[in-house]
Amino acid sequence: MTNTTLPSRDALKSQARRLRSTLADQGSNMSHGAALETVARQWGYRDWNTLAAASAATPAPRWQIGQSVQGHYLGHAFVGLIKSVSRKGHSHTQLTVVFDTPVDVVASDKFSSLRRQVTATLNSQGRTVEKTSDGQAHLVLS
């Protein structure tokens, strides 16, 4: 078995269908059952039933690529999409968020500095550990 977070059972079945399709395009036929067994071995499991059970026991990740999110970045409200997600230990996740509308990260009226995306490490409550000088988290997801 592996320590990697497993995709959903449906995503694993889709992987098996893609494998069959790719092999068929190359002139090799594979049954759906054989494709499922191959996918299980690729994920480090002895067979499809073991992988399917492990996948069902794996909780869905809180944040996923393509998910719409909203919150505050440096005190400015935003709406955006998650571009990347990676685990950082047991309780932290690194996200890259692409803002729908660029966020001005400067408080001055004299000039602007627009951010189109940001990468931040969040705790399980969706807040960064890093804080501004007034004690507010850099990024907070609602």
pLDDT tens, residue by residue, 120-138: 999 988 999 899 888 899 9
Retrieve residue 74's tokens. 């440096």
Mean pLDDT, rounded, for 92-104: 94
**Across all residues in the chain, what is the average pLDDT?**
89
Q: In sequence order, which residues have a C-beta less than 8 Å from that of residue 7 and are 6 or more positions away?
A: 15, 55
Res 102 pLDDT > 70: yes
pLDDT digits (tens, 9 = 90+) for 51-95: 988 887 766 568 888 999 999 999 899 999 999 998 887 778 999
| Residue of 141, 83, 76 whose CA lies nearest to 115 | 76
Helix (H, G, I), strand (E, B) or coil at 57: helix
Residue labelled with tokens 């068929």 = 24
Supply the pLDDT for residue 40: 93
> What does the pLDDT average to over 29-58?
90
Closest C-alpha among 95, 91, 97 to residue 76:
97
Check residue 2 and give its pLDDT: 41
Separation CA 74–CA 136 (nearest Å):
8
Model-level pTM greater than 0.75? no
| Residues 6+ positions from 18 with CB-CB distance below 8 Å | none
Half-sphere exposure (Cβ direction) of 2: Cα atoms closer than 13 Å: 14
Q: Looking at residue 55, what is its pLDDT?
A: 82
Residues 1 and 69: their CA atoms lie apart, in Å, by: 33
